Structure 1
Amino acid sequence: MTEKVVVIYSGGMDSFTVLNRALQDGKEVFSLSFDYGQRHVKELECANTVCNALGVNHKVIDISAINQLLAGSSLTDDIDIPEGEYETDNMKSTVVPNRNMVLLSLAVAYAVSIGAEQVYYGAHSGDHAIYPDCRPEFLEKMNDVCKIANYESVEIFSPYLNVDKTAILADGISMGLDYSNTWTCYNGRDKACGKCSSCQERLAAFADNNQTDPIAYE
C-alpha cells in the first residue's frame, strides 16, 4: 500500500520541489495550503494550478482570522517589503510569529485524520539564520512533540533541511520540473518585482544552476 503523506504547499519554488520530491519518492500526496492573511494569494493560485495539473489532492484552508494575532510582519501587515540581499537584518521584518508551528500543527492533525505517517515541509539551510522555525533544532523538537501529541505518531520531514535554495533547484531540475507555475516574490503584482530579497535569492539560485527563471519580472 502506498504511504500517505501531507505536503505543506505554499505554491513557492521550494514547496513545489518538495511536493514533486514526495511524488518521486512514491508517496500518495495530500497537499495542504493555507490562507493565513498573507499580503497576496499569488502563491495559492499557483498551488491550485499545479495540483490540478498533477491530479494531486489539494486543500486550501482559510485561517486568515488568525492574522489579527500575527502582527509585526511585512508579510501580513502594512509594512514595507524589504529589498536587496537576503540577509538577516534585512529579512527580519518578514518573520511571521510562530507561523510554522501553527501550520505544522494543523498539518499533523490532518495527517492523523487521513492516516498519513509524515508531513513534508520546505525548510532549508538558507533560512536558518533568519527564521527560527526553519532550523534543525525546531524540527527536532516538533518531532518530539508529534510523537506524543496523538495516539498516532507523525513525523515532520524536511527533505532539504540541510541544503540551500540552489541545491533545491538543482534537484528540481534533475526531476525535469517546470517552475513557471511557482511564485516567490513577496509582492502580489502581475509580475515578480525582482527587487525583494526573496526574488533576489530565487534569481541567484537559477543563475547558480545556469538556468533562466521562466517567470516574468518587472
Structure 2
Amino acid sequence: MLKALVLSSGGVDSTTCLALAVDKLGAENVSSVSIFYGQKHQKELQQAKKIADYYKVNHYELDLSAMFAQSNCALLKNSTQEIEESTYEEQITAHGKVNTYVPFRNGLFLASVASLAGSIYPDDKVEIYLGAHADDAAMNAYADCSMEFIEAMNRAISIGTYSQENIVAPFAGKTKADVVACGLKLEVPYELTWSCYEGKEKACGKCATCLDRLKAFKSNGVKDPLDYA
C-alpha cells in the first residue's frame, strides 16, 4: 500500500503538502516528521505537532542539531549573525547567498526521512513530501530547493531504497502564492502555521519569510490569519 511521510516545518508550504497527502491517501496512511536542527526557537516544532494533531496523523521528531553545531547560519542558536529584515531578493543582491541558508539542510533532512520511512513503513511504497517552491530556489537563494537538487536526491533515495521511496515536491515549479491558492482550496488551517524566523509571540512581519508569506496571501486576495507585531 502507498504511504506518505511529510517533512513538516510547521509552515505554509509543508502544511499544504500535508493537506495534499491526507487528501490523496487518507490520514491513516500519512505521517509527518519535524526536525530540530539547532534553530533559535521551538515555535515551528510546536506548530508542526499541533498541525499533525489537527490532521490526526502520526508525528515524529528527529534531532539533527549536532550536524549543524559548527555552522554560523543566522537561524541557529550559536550564530553570531542577526536575521536580516529584508526580502530574499534584496539580500542576494547585497550579499550573494542568504545568511539563513543552513548548509545542505534539505539533503540531510531528506536522507534522514528516507531512513525513517524505511523503518516505519518497511513493506510499503512511500512518498516523501517536500514543500520546496520556486521562490525558494529563485536566484539560487536556497540551492537545496532547486529542481536539479530535488531530482538528484530523488534518484539517490530511489536507488538506496530499492525503488520503494520517492520524493514528491508538488510546488517545486510554483510560487508561494500558488501554494497558498492550493491550500485555500483544501481549507488548510493556516492559523496554526508559523513561518517567522523569530520565535516570539507574534510574527515579526519583517524577515524574508514573513514578507514572502504576506505577499503570497495578498496575491490571493485574502488576509494572512497570523498576528503580526
Report the TM-score when normalising by structure 2.
0.90
SS at match of 2:53: helix
1:189 — aligned with what? Answer: 200
SS at match of 1:32: strand
1:146 maps to a residue whose letter is I
- Asked whether the equivalents of residues 86 and 197 of structure 1 are also in contact (C-alpha less than 8 Å), the reply is yes
Between 1:18-27 and 1:109-118, the stretch displaced more is: 109-118
Tell me the CA shift for residue 152 of structure 1: 4.4
2:191 — aligned with what? Answer: 180
Q: Does residue 138 in structure 1 map to residue 137 in structure 2? A: no
* Cα RMSD after superposing both structures: 1.4
Where do 5+ consecutive residues of structure 1 fail to align?
A: none
CA distances 1:19-61 after superposition (whole Å, capped 9, x unpaired): 1011111251111100010111111111111111221100111
- Asked whether the equivalents of residues 6 and 116 of structure 1 are also in contact (C-alpha less than 8 Å), the reply is no
SS at match of 1:148: helix
1:194 maps to a residue whose letter is G
2:3 — aligned with what? Answer: 4
CA distances 1:143-163 after superposition (whole Å, capped 9, x unpaired): 221122133431111011100
2:30 maps to a residue whose letter is V
2:111 — aligned with what? Answer: 105
Q: In the aligned structure 2, how far is the partner of 1:97 from the partner of 1:89?
A: 20
1:124 — aligned with what? Answer: 133
2:128 maps to a residue whose letter is V
| Equivalence map 1:6-85=2 (5 Å) | 6-27=5-26, 28-69=29-70, 71-76=71-76, 77-85=79-87
1:92 — aligned with what? Answer: 98
Q: In the aligned structure 1, how far is the partner of 2:83 from the partner of 2:107?
A: 23
SS at match of 1:25: helix
SS at match of 2:4: strand
1:147 pairs, out of 139, 158, 171, with: 158
1:8 maps to a residue whose letter is L
Tell me the CA shift for residue 116 of structure 1: 4.1
Q: Percent identity?
A: 38
Tell me the CA shift for residue 177 of structure 1: 1.8
1:121 maps to a residue whose letter is L
CA distances 1:83-117 after superposition (whole Å, capped 9, x unpaired): 12231346610100010010000111112221342
Q: In the aligned structure 1, how far is the partner of 2:7 from the partner of 2:93?
A: 27
Q: Does residue 210 in structure 1 map to residue 209 in structure 2? A: no
CA distances 1:103-150 after superposition (whole Å, capped 9, x unpaired): 000111112221342111101000112111100110111122112213
